[in-house]
Structure formats: C-alpha cells, structure tokens
Amino acid sequence: MKNYILTLFLFTITLSFAQKKDCLLDFEEKTDSTYIKKTADILIHEKVFGNSKEMIFFSLLNSDGVPMLGLQQIQKSTDFIPVLCFDKNSKVIFQLENGKIISLINSNQENCSSFSFDTETKSNIKVITNYFLFLKDNYEELKKSPISLMRIKFVGESKDIVLKSNLDSELLKTKTSPSNYFVDYLHCVE
C-alpha cells in the first residue's frame, strides 16, 4: 500500500510539472453542424529598425476537427512597403531543434496584404493574414521539439526568421516564447 501511495504521489508531482501552458482562447463556438475554436494571437517575431516595424503573430484554429495555424504579419513604415501575397503554393516551413523539417501548406486561400495609412505618424501599414494546414505525418513532431528557424513562402519571395527562445517585445511590452509555441499551445486545438 505504501508503494502505491508513493507512486501516486510521484506521478502527481511529475504531471504537475509536465503540464502545457494554459490555453488562451479568442473564441469557441459549437453548434449542431460546426465547431470552431481559436486561440489568442501570440507574438512570434518582432523587428524594429529605423522607421520600420514588423510583427508576426501565430494563432491556432480548429475548424470541425481540422487544426490550422493562423499567421498574421503587420508591417508599419514611413517608407514604401511592397505588397505580399499568398497563393496555393505558399507554405510555412519550420526547422525544429531536433533537425527535422516540417511544412504546413496553404489552406487554399489566395490573398494579398491590405494597405492603410496612419495620418498621425504618416506611416504605411500593411497586414496579411492566412491559415496553414498541418500534415498528419508532422503534427506530432511539433509537439515534441522547439522551432529554431521559420521560412514563410509568399508569392515570388521567401522570408527566413530565426525564432528566439524568449522574446521581450519592445512594441507590445509582452514576453513570449516563440521557439516553444507548438510545444506550449498545440494541445489547445486537439
């Protein structure tokens, strides 16, 4: 009996340390015919250089049992910002710290960045948002290993980003762990 209690106690302690981060949900809706769950946007990348600012956010979405990665890029600059577009060939590719390469494919949305102008700061603002599908053969790997590098394939160009273990946002005054994003949050949409 003592061994049983000791084993249960050790299991409980181990389980409490191994828990993932809490799920911050943006919304969850369940009807007779649909189910949608979306996590809050988390800052993954921030770049401030001169008059230019760039931020990339991730969110996770489960639409009727299909998990997806939401990617949003926001750029603000007093200089010209070229248009970015996603098409059917666009992808997000991750290199994990364990050396594996994981690709997420476009969810068949074709869209380009939207433009607005901030008259107060006289800045151009471009925003692009898209969703990418996980492949069955790579889903489990993302839950096990942190990300070291991300490549976003737009129409006609690619962008490579080294993801940090810890990101202290200069613009949002928040702290995030970009390289552990999937390890911490992928369980939220399962």
pLDDT of residue 130: 96
> For 72-83, b where at least 16 C-beta lie within 10 A, e where not — what string?
ebbbbbeeebee
pLDDT of residue 28: 85
HSE-up of residue 1 (Cα within 13 Å, Cβ side):
0
pLDDT of residue 27: 84
Report CA 112 to chain centroid distance, whole Å. 19
pLDDT confidence bin for 15, thresholds 50/70/90: very low
Strand partners, 66: 63
Q: What is the pLDDT of residues 135-166, one digit of tens each?
A: 887 788 999 999 999 999 999 999 999 999 99
Q: What single-letter amino acid sits at 18?
A: A
What is the reported pTM?
0.86
Question: How many whole angstroms separate alpha carbon 178 and alpha carbon 162?
Answer: 10
Taking a C-beta distance cutoff of 8 angstroms, is the pair 104, 92 a contact?
A: yes
